[in-house]
Amino acid sequence: MSDEGGAGEPLSDRQKREIATWFLSNAPAGEIHYIAKDVRALLGNDAVYEAAAAEAFPEYNKARLVSIELPDRSGDIIISTYGEIDKNNYLDPRTAQVATIDHMKQTCTKLRPAEDEELPSAYIEEFRCALDVELSKYVSEAYPKGACAVYCTSGKDIEGPGADFSFAAVISAAKRSPQNFCNGSWCSVWTIEFNYELQFVDIKGKIQVDAHYFEEGNVQLDTNIDRKDSTRMQSPDDCAVSISGIIRHHESEYLSSLEESYLNLSDATFKDLRRKLPVTRTLFPWHNTLVFGLTRDLAKELALGK
């Protein structure tokens, strides 16, 4: 990393740390460790690198909803703001455990049972658990190597009917294939608000898809979309079935639109990026673009719902 600023002045350690933090925080899905290795070498200053990594890794893990296997093999924990107890400790609501996370290694170093005040009441847990069961069924069917979690975000101390409460349902799925020069991730967050007086459930979702294809080039997809829906407030089991069905519908619909976009890449996007007549003076064979690895592998590697 150059020591020269825009006016020819050396960069301060603070400036280097800020630049390094930016590169780490904006690493493509599943590639932060590759970026970290290069950033550390370019900095040539372990103290500056460690400061940047200590800031960037936790934010990256939460933003990407990174999932980490629990050491007792009871499942995966998703690193998210909804389960954050402090910088290094995160609640896994499904197993009622708190995991201590090493953000830079992306591993779980310790587990402990969650304390009573960290968990919702029995009444709220009945709704949360029912939704978690239905959401897990959907994720296991739709996403290879996917993980999900349902957190109570407000009203966790409510002991019975008569008050409002809300959940956050998060889904994280990843496709890691660096040997094929392709990585991708699917992250979705659904906020679910239960209005007892109106007997109404308001559902809002944000879906984010990231993909990076880097064989002899650098092609990235970074897209997100918001969704909104609602349903009636019913029993915990009926609510869970209805809410998970709504999530399935919207995510399947968005996935289908992405797949359609991939099929149109060769007819629109890629054609606009190329010269009308290449330097070889030979026209590009648009009629047979599927022989080229990029369109073929994008359709294959990033079809997360298959």
Predicted TM-score (pTM) of this structure: 0.83
Query: Does some domain include residue 132?
Result: yes
CATH of the domain at 107: 3.30.1140.60
For 19-69, write each residue's pLDDT tens digit: 999 999 999 988 999 999 999 999 999 999 999 999 999 999 999 999 999
Residue 29 belongs to domain spanning: 13-61
At which of 233, 254, 275 does a domain end?
254
Mark whether 154 and 218 lie in a shared domain.
yes
Structural domain tally of the chain?
Answer: 3
Buried b (16+ CB within 10 A) or exposed e, 45-66: beebbebbbebbbbebbbebbb
State the pLDDT at residue 130.
98
Query: Does some domain include residue 286?
Result: no
Q: Please, what is the angle between helix 13-25 and helix 32-43, to 10°?
A: 160
pLDDT band at 236 (very low <50, low <70, confident <90, very high): very high
State the pLDDT at residue 258.
84
Mean pLDDT of 255-268: 76
Mark whether 166 and 107 lie in a shared domain.
no
Closest CA to 102 of 81, 117, 88: 88
Determine how many CB atoms are found less than 10 A away from the CB of residue 71: 12
Mark whether 234 and 161 lie in a shared domain.
yes
**Which of the two residues, 218 and 15, has the higher pLDDT score?**
15
Query: Does some domain include residue 51?
Result: yes
Closest CA to 29 of 2, 67, 74, 3: 67
State the pLDDT at residue 276.
54
For 200-233, write each residue's pLDDT tens digit: 999 999 999 998 888 777 888 888 999 999 999 9
Sign of the alpha-carbon dihedral angle for 34, 53, 80, 73: positive
State the pLDDT at residue 305.
45
For 68-126, write each residue's pLDDT tens digit: 999 888 889 999 999 999 999 999 999 999 999 999 999 999 999 999 999 999 999 99
| Contact call for residues 128 and 93 (beta carbons, < 8 A) | yes
Query: Does some domain include residue 7?
Result: no
Mark whether 88 and 211 lie in a shared domain.
no
For 269-298, write each residue's pLDDT tens digit: 656 655 555 556 565 565 565 555 555 565
State the pLDDT at residue 9.
80
